């Protein structure tokens, strides 16, 4: 008897191929697209693009703008790694009411922050929309209203009107504590992102598309982006993986934090040696969490997984790193940043558990389950995570 091959065994549903089904799914994604890029007829739009961005993405977004009577100005940089908007381009960016950007500086450049805070510019960052074919993926069509509710219910789990410890642990030995004040909590959760506002229709907003990258359970907005503030961050992170490494770590290094800085990377593996050279002296500037149940769990390039409960520890380095330059010469981020990844963290805020061994507890809240039930089977929508 001929032995069956692997593709002979079919015990699970196969991917949909019917054109009718695919058409329906595409327009589900298009609704998210149009609602996220909430362009108004009276907008002045500037698009900060880069050479390696799929030109179809540029034309899709510009086509949407033109359908509203808006004629975008598109600036194409050589890459997306800029840490600040060049001085000569700032007068042009200042004219905008709506900005789409692939540039790294969008979230950290004081100029960009000021444009949102003082001028009310609305920004959409497209880190995860660099290929138009992504519109045909499950994460693109997952309802943004559910994502927003997942985020809001996670925000509700942060203790109110009190100081608390934000703690991180996992089976590899991570034991990190960030001491939050009540003021830091208010600063962090005041953004449109933590209020679950998924559309770029609010003055001063900053939105990610595809939905969504973050928001962060910790970042420097908690101290109003004041570089002089030292946040009480101490302990050890033992990452499962990191951007720029082909596979998860077989012998994960121990990254030691003391008084808001990385002071040591312990371990004898090749990865530990690389990360020791890279990370010592660096600072944790963001600790991002995924909130899209249909984002691929184990796709961490370019900036961490967006799957629910997956974490990325975003570290700004003391100096540009040659390993990053060699391995990712045209990375979407500059070689002064690194993201450490965990899929199985337990995160507590005071006495409340936000994430339990990689499971985001907001997925079980009644309002999230009720909203998901309007779109389909809530178990499938919220707990069936693609690899």
Write out the DSSP string of 208-270. ESSS-EEEEEEEGGGGTT-TT----EEEEE--SEETT-SS--SS--EEEEETTEEEEEE-SSH
126 and 228 in a single domain? The answer is: no
Residue 27's domain spans which residues? 19-136
Count of the separate structural domains present in the chain: 2
222 and 298 in a single domain? The answer is: yes
117 and 74 in a single domain? The answer is: yes
DSSP state of 177: E
Q: What is the CATH number of the domain that holds 43?
A: 3.40.50
The model carries a pTM of 0.95
For 199-213, the pLDDT digits (tens) are: 999 999 999 999 989
Q: How far is Cα 26 from Cα 141, in angstroms, rounded to an integer?
A: 7
Among 264, 301, 303, 266, CA closest to 282: 264
71 and 109 in a single domain? The answer is: yes
For 232-256, the pLDDT digits (tens) are: 999 999 999 999 999 999 999 999 9
Q: How far is Cα 118 from Cα 95, in angstroms, rounded to an integer?
A: 13
Q: Across residues 22-48, what is the average pLDDT? A: 98
121 and 223 in a single domain? The answer is: no
Give domain status of residue 91, yes or no.
Answer: yes
Domain boundary (95, 113, 136) is at 136
Q: What share of residues in the chain are helix, strand, coil (percent, to 5)? A: 30, 25, 45
Tell me if residue 287 falls in helix, strand or coil. Answer: strand
110 and 218 in a single domain? The answer is: no
Q: pLDDT band for position 195 (50/70/90)?
A: very high
Q: How far is Cα 236 from Cα 249, in angstroms, rounded to an integer?
A: 16
CA 150-155-158 angle, to 5 degrees, is: 140
Q: How far is Cα 151 from Cα 19, in angstroms, rounded to an integer?
A: 33
347 and 377 in a single domain? The answer is: yes
Domain boundary (102, 118, 136) is at 136
Residue written as token pair 């905008």: 96
CA 342-224-332 angle, to 5 degrees, is: 45
DSSP state of 292: B
Give domain status of residue 368, yes or no.
Answer: yes
Backbone angles phi, psi at 278, to 5 degrees: -80, -45
322 and 257 in a single domain? The answer is: yes
Domain boundary (136, 157, 173) is at 136
Find the range with the poorest average confidence among 42-51, 222-231, 365-374.
222-231
Residue 387 parent element (H or E): none
Give domain status of residue 203, yes or no.
Answer: no
132 and 151 in a single domain? The answer is: no
| Of residues 15 and 324, more confidently modeled | 324
pLDDT at residue 9 in the model: 87
- Counting beta carbons within 10 angstroms of the beta carbon of residue 35, is it exposed (0 to 12), middle (13 to 18) or buried (19 or more)? middle
pLDDT at residue 16 in the model: 87
Q: pLDDT band for position 2 (50/70/90)?
A: low
Are 345 and 359 spatial neighbours (Cβ–Cβ below 8 Å)?
no
Q: 214 pLDDT exceeds 90?
A: no
Among 129, 266, 293, 93, CA closest to 207: 129
pLDDT at residue 1 in the model: 58
Helix axes 19-36, 55-67, angle to 10 degrees: 70
Pairing type for strands 346-349 and 352-356 reads: antiparallel
CA 299-305-306 angle, to 5 degrees, is: 120
For 135-149, the pLDDT digits (tens) are: 999 999 999 999 999
Task: Compute, in degrees rounded to 10, the torsion defined by CA atoms 8, 12, 15, 20.
Answer: 120
Are 292 and 278 spatial neighbours (Cβ–Cβ below 8 Å)?
no
Q: Across residues 112-131, what is the average pLDDT? A: 98
Give domain status of residue 195, yes or no.
Answer: no
Give domain status of residue 11, yes or no.
Answer: no
Give domain status of residue 194, yes or no.
Answer: no
For 331-359, the pLDDT digits (tens) are: 999 999 999 999 999 999 999 999 999 99
Backbone angles phi, psi at 99, to 5 degrees: -125, 130
What average pLDDT does the chain have? Answer: 97
Q: 8 pLDDT exceeds 80?
A: no
Q: At a CB cut-off of 8 Å and minimum separation 6, what does 77 contact?
A: 48, 49, 50, 51, 103
Give domain status of residue 10, yes or no.
Answer: no
Alpha helix locations (H) across the chain?
Answer: 19-36, 55-67, 90-94, 110-119, 138-141, 144-156, 182-189, 270-279, 322-327, 366-373, 378-383
Q: Across residues 289-312, what is the average pLDDT? A: 97
Q: How many CB atoms lie within 10 A of CB 249?
A: 21
Give domain status of residue 160, yes or no.
Answer: yes
220 and 369 in a single domain? The answer is: yes
220 and 359 in a single domain? The answer is: yes
290 and 226 in a single domain? The answer is: yes
């Amino acid at each position: 008897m001929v032995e069956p091959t692997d593709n002979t065994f079919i015990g699970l549903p196969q991917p949909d191929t019917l054109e009718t089904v695919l058409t329906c799914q595409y327009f589900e994604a298009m609704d998210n697209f149009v609602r996220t890029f909430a362009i108004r007829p009276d907008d002045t739009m500037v698009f900060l693009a880069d050479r390696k961005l799929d030109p179809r993405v540029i034309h899709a977004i510009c086509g949407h703008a033109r359908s509203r009577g808006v004629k975008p100005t598109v600036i194409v940089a050589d890459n997306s790694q800029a840490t600040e908007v060049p001085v000569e381009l700032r007068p042009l960016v200042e004219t905008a009411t709506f900005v789409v950007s692939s540039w790294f500086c969008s979230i950290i450049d004081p100029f960009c922050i000021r444009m949102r805070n003082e001028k009310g510019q609305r920004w959409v960052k497209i880190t995860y929309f660099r290929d138009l074919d992504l519109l045909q993926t499950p994460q693109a069509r997952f309802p943004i209203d559910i994502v927003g509710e997942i985020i809001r219910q996670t925000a509700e789990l942060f203790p109110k009107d009190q100081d608390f410890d934000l703690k991180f642990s996992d089976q590899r030995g991570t034991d990190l504590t960030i001491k939050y004040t009540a003021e830091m909590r208010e600063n962090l959760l005041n953004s449109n992102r933590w209020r679950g506002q998924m559309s770029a229709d609010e003055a001063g907003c900053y939105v990610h598309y595809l939905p969504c990258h973050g928001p962060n359970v910790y970042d420097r907005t908690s101290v109003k982006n004041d570089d002089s503030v030292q946040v009480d961050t101490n302990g050890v992170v033992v990452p499962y993986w990191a951007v720029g490494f082909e596979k998860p770590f077989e012998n994960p290094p121990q990254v030691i934090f003391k008084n808001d800085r990385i002071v040591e990377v312990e371990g004898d593996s090749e990865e530990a040696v690389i990360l020791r050279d890279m990370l010592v002296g660096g600072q944790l500037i963001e600790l991002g969490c995924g909130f899209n149940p249909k984002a691929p769990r184990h796709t961490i390039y370019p900036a961490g997984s967006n799957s629910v409960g997956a974490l990325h520890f975003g570290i700004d380095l003391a100096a540009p790193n040659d390993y990053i330059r060699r391995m990712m010469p045209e990375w979407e981020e500059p070689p002064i940043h690194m993201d450490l990844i965990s899929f199985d963290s337990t995160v507590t805020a005071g006495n409340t558990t936000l994430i339990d061994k990689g499971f985001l507890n907001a997925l079980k809240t009644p309002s999230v389950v009720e909203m998901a039930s309007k779109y389909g089977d809530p178990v499938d929508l919220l707990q069936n995570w693609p690899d």
